[in-house]
Structure 1
Amino acid sequence: MDNDAPEVLPTKNQRRQATREKAKELRDAQRKQEKRKRVFVQGGIVVVVLAVIAGVAFILTSAIRPPAPGPMNMASDGIVIGSELEAVETPALAAGAAPVATSVDPKVPNIRIYVDYLCPVCGQFENANAEQLATWAENGTATVEYHPIAILTGRSAGSQYSLRAANAAACVANYSPNNFFAFNTLMFESQPEEGTEGHSDEDLKKIVAQAIETDAGTAPAGPVQSKVESCIDDASYKSWVQSATDRATTQAVPHSSLDKVKATPTVLVNDKQYTGSITDEKEFQAFVLSVASETYAKSSPSPSPSPSSSPSPSAPAPAQ
């Protein structure tokens, strides 16, 4: 046996498949845990009361919270994922500072997605389009910008899952940004049902560990994972998530015609809202290609009398 044979590293597709398998294991464990918890719940009235209390507490604390600094790599209140699924690095927002909207490059379409990790429709959109989004971003033919917000905080049986999940996303963006896409994919592949307590903080840490393991080689796992876990324990970006959610749901969406984010997922392609089928990946693909071509045409100079041919738009190609 040759002990000097080079180690064969898993391909991206193999790592994604491993991610899906681990997500299924976590999802199955979550369902078993929720089933055990239901045995001890004495009627739905308890859940309703807890949810109402949590919602009132969230409103009260939102009204009196001080400004808080944001995570690195989320200067727009979102994280931009580009070539090789790597994040675009940006400095952290100072406490009270206004976010800086991402500028659209006519040659590289920007797909901006506002998500709540408890939102079932967000899960449907991700399940239908995650592979296509990954292909576009990985090839550098589009950027994918995720804005985690928490509009369903009061719908997780008092656990504030939406808020905790968005905080975990901010922690990953700050300490391990190049693992964000894998983390986001896992969060939706193992998404809990609305009305349940959702994942515990320990579950969220396991998802972080899986994301880092899936994209092994992008960063030293041990120190990075430890920092993300401490960030989750301390709810380091909880106040920032609340502020980002307030901005998204009460202020005009930058560079678009929307006066605010009214629901999740809100999907914008080069600042134009997608209103088609959430679960039809071909319809979404066609929309992205159409908007990309339109943006490119508007940015191109007027044709001259010269017989030279005009360039074609650098629109995303379909996933293979």
Structure 2
Amino acid sequence: MTSGSPLEPRASKNERREAAREKAKELRVAQKRRERRNSWLLKGGVAVAIVAVVAVVSVFVIQMNRPAGPGPRNMASDGILIGEGLTVVSTPALAPGEAPTPTVPDNSGSVANIVMYIDYLCPFCGQFEQTNGETIRDLVESGAATVEIHPIALLANRSAGTQYSLRATNAAACVANYSPDAFFDFNAALFVDQPAEGTPGLTNDELKARAASAGATSSSIDQCIDDVQFKSWAQVATNRARSEPLPNSDIEQLKGTPTILVNGKSYNGSLDDPQEFSSFVLQAVASTTDKDATPTPTPTPTPTP
């Protein structure tokens, strides 16, 4: 004989039905609790998303309405003037809204005043630099010429959305402000393996690397490039060149880049013939000498006795 627990009596049909109702009731209560919890989670998520969107929009609005900061030092004319020995002429920063001060050219007839309006994405600017950069360097180092470089951002919208032209102009302003004596070499470096129009251009890190290789050693330059510190100035200087007469010339407004002036005369010659530009410089200096020369008085004839 086996032993075990006594068998429990089988539940009746009514009892089973009542148990099923009770179980269904419990399930409904649990479902309502889940629905309320999910509703609160959804509302909380939407609220967080709204806060995040508002924060992003607020930052954007603040940046868009932030007052324009001062321009870079050593670019009071909207360009940087470089003289004998590649030494930069020091000038104070432009205050926000302040008009630039045009450079007073040397009209002695002994110096070529070279002025260049360039865009670092402009392929013709790159062509001119590759052809004539070393000639200009030699002229300026020796004191035979000065060069005033105006970087502008005409092609800011032609770099796959990165605004490379504007970032490069800002980087040039950063170098002018913090390491001005490296500007000439940095300007040349931006035309080495120049990015093509329609490409993203150099990254900020690549701009910083080229500044460092050009001798721009100030610790402030990296942050200046990352923050696009002189963005407002670059935009204003670009618009100014496009809408106002170019100082010391008869050009009513900039039509394109490169625009090269020598003693106020516009160079319209070949971009890939160094001899043609050199000849133009000599002619411009000679014409300045002729124009400013004091006429020699004609002697009065001595009466014949």
Query: TM-score w.r.t. structure 2 length?
Result: 0.74
- 1:1-320 aligned within 5 A: 66-106=67-107, 107-212=110-215, 221=217, 224=218, 226-304=219-297
Secondary structure of the residue that 2:253 maps to in structure 1?
Answer: coil
Residue 241 of structure 1, CA deviation = 0.1
**Change in 2 beyond 3 A, CA 1:244/1:64:** farther
Percent same amino acid among aligned pairs? Answer: 53
**Change in 2 beyond 3 A, CA 1:65/1:115:** farther
Residue 190 of structure 1, CA deviation = 2.8
CA deviation string 1:80-123 (max 9, x = no partner): 11111111111111111111111111232210000000000000
Amino acid at match of 1:242: Q
CA deviation string 1:176-223 (max 9, x = no partner): 11100000111001311111000000000000010007xxxxxxx3xx
Please say if residues 114 and 148 of structure 1, whose CA atoms lie closer than 8 Å, have aligned partners that are also in contact: yes
CA deviation string 1:213-238 (max 9, x = no partner): 7xxxxxxx3xx1x1111110111100
CA distance in 2, matches of 1:263, 1:159: 21
Residue 67 of structure 1, CA deviation = 4.1
Residue 268 of structure 1, CA deviation = 0.6
Query: TM-score w.r.t. structure 1 length?
Result: 0.71
CA distance in 2, matches of 1:75, 1:146: 12
CA distance in 2, matches of 1:66, 1:247: 18
Where does residue 6 of structure 2 map in the other structure?
none
Amino acid at match of 1:69: P
Amino acid at match of 2:136: L
Runs of 4+ in 1 over 2 A off after TM superposition: 63-68
Residue 264 of structure 1, CA deviation = 0.3
**Change in 2 beyond 3 A, CA 1:104/1:187:** same
Amino acid at match of 1:83: E
Amino acid at match of 1:229: D
Secondary structure of the residue that 1:188 maps to in structure 2?
Answer: coil
Please say if residues 109 and 269 of structure 1, whose CA atoms lie closer than 8 Å, have aligned partners that are also in contact: yes
Amino acid at match of 1:122: C
Please say if residues 68 and 96 of structure 1, whose CA atoms lie closer than 8 Å, have aligned partners that are also in contact: no
Please say if residues 65 and 239 of structure 1, whose CA atoms lie closer than 8 Å, have aligned partners that are also in contact: no
CA distance in 2, matches of 1:210, 1:258: 36
CA distance in 2, matches of 1:101, 1:68: 20
CA distance in 2, matches of 1:78, 1:134: 17
Amino acid at match of 2:204: D
CA deviation string 1:270-300 (max 9, x = no partner): 1111111111111111111001111122222
Bigger relative contact order (CA 8 A; separation at least 6): 1
Residue 255 of structure 1, CA deviation = 2.0
Instruction: Extract unaligned runs of 5+ from structure 2.
Output: 1-63, 300-305
Where does residue 318 of structure 1 map in the other structure?
none
For these two proteins, the number of residue pairs brought into alignment is 237
**Change in 2 beyond 3 A, CA 1:64/1:264:** farther
Amino acid at match of 2:250: S
CA deviation string 1:129-167 (max 9, x = no partner): 000000001001100110000000000000000000000
